[in-house]
Amino acid sequence: MKCSLLSRPMTCAHDWISRLVLPGDTVVDATAGNGHDTAFLARLVGPGGKVHAFDIQEEALRSARERLREEGLLTDAVCFHLASHSRLAELVRGPVKAIMFNLGYLPGGDRNLITRTDSTLAALEQAVNLTAPNGILSVMCYPGHEGGNTEAAAVEQLLSRLPHHLWRTGKYQLLNTSTPAPFQICAFRLD
């Protein structure tokens, strides 16, 4: 996907990830939802790679699987986990080239089934250890819903403490959108 100047944060994350991920790589969608990111990752790694897609809702995984089927991407390369991303280290063998989190609730679904600060932080700590050199960890944060602000601040704090000789971490946010504006945090693990 092309990233025009000052694109939406998610578009930028896709652009950065697509510069790093190669066919055959292992990647993770930590919040599969309706499968947009799972499909994006499956296209990048191809049939010889591995995409691990996590969600706690059967409804989400059904929707994600259907999207991949429609797009001709439902191959053995994609592995769906009906599990919390806090089980990342147990279910995924590293190194992983890209790990994506898109926090919040399933669009069109139950707004109570939302990512939570504790499990998000637990998953992120594991994700940091699984990310390959020259790999990327991206987290789309939504401070606008209840609990979202606390979660977004905790994510920012955790990733801003990564050692700078090993990681480059940045935050990208458009300022003239909804308030408080969603933002993207990306951590790139240096080679």
User: Judged by CB under 6 A, which of 115, 126, 131, 138 binds ligand SAM?
Assistant: 115
Tell me how long the chain is: 191
Going from the C-alpha of 81 to that of each of 55, 132, 143, 160, the distances in angstroms are: 7, 21, 26, 29
Site for ligand SAM in 84-113 (CB under 6 A): 84-86, 102, 104-106, 113
Tell me the backbone φ, ψ of residue 46, rounded to 5 degrees: 70, 180
Between 77 and 164, CB nearer to ligand SAM: 77
Should residue 151 be labelled a site residue for ligand SAM when binding is judged by CB under 6 A?
no
Using rule CB under 6 A, residue 31 touches ligand SAM: yes
In sequence order, the 6+-apart residues with CB closer than 8 A to the CB of 106 are 33, 34, 55, 57, 59, 60, 113
Cβ-based nearer residue to ligand SAM, 36 or 168: 36
In whole angstroms, what is the distance from residue 32 CA to residue 172 CA? 22
Distance CA 40, CA 32 (A): 11
Q: Which C-beta is closer to ligand SAM: that of 134 or that of 177? A: 177
Q: Contact between 27 and ligand SAM (CB under 6 A)? A: no
Which residues make up the interface to ligand SAM (CB under 6 A)?
Answer: 31, 33-37, 54-57, 60, 84-86, 102, 104-106, 113-115, 119
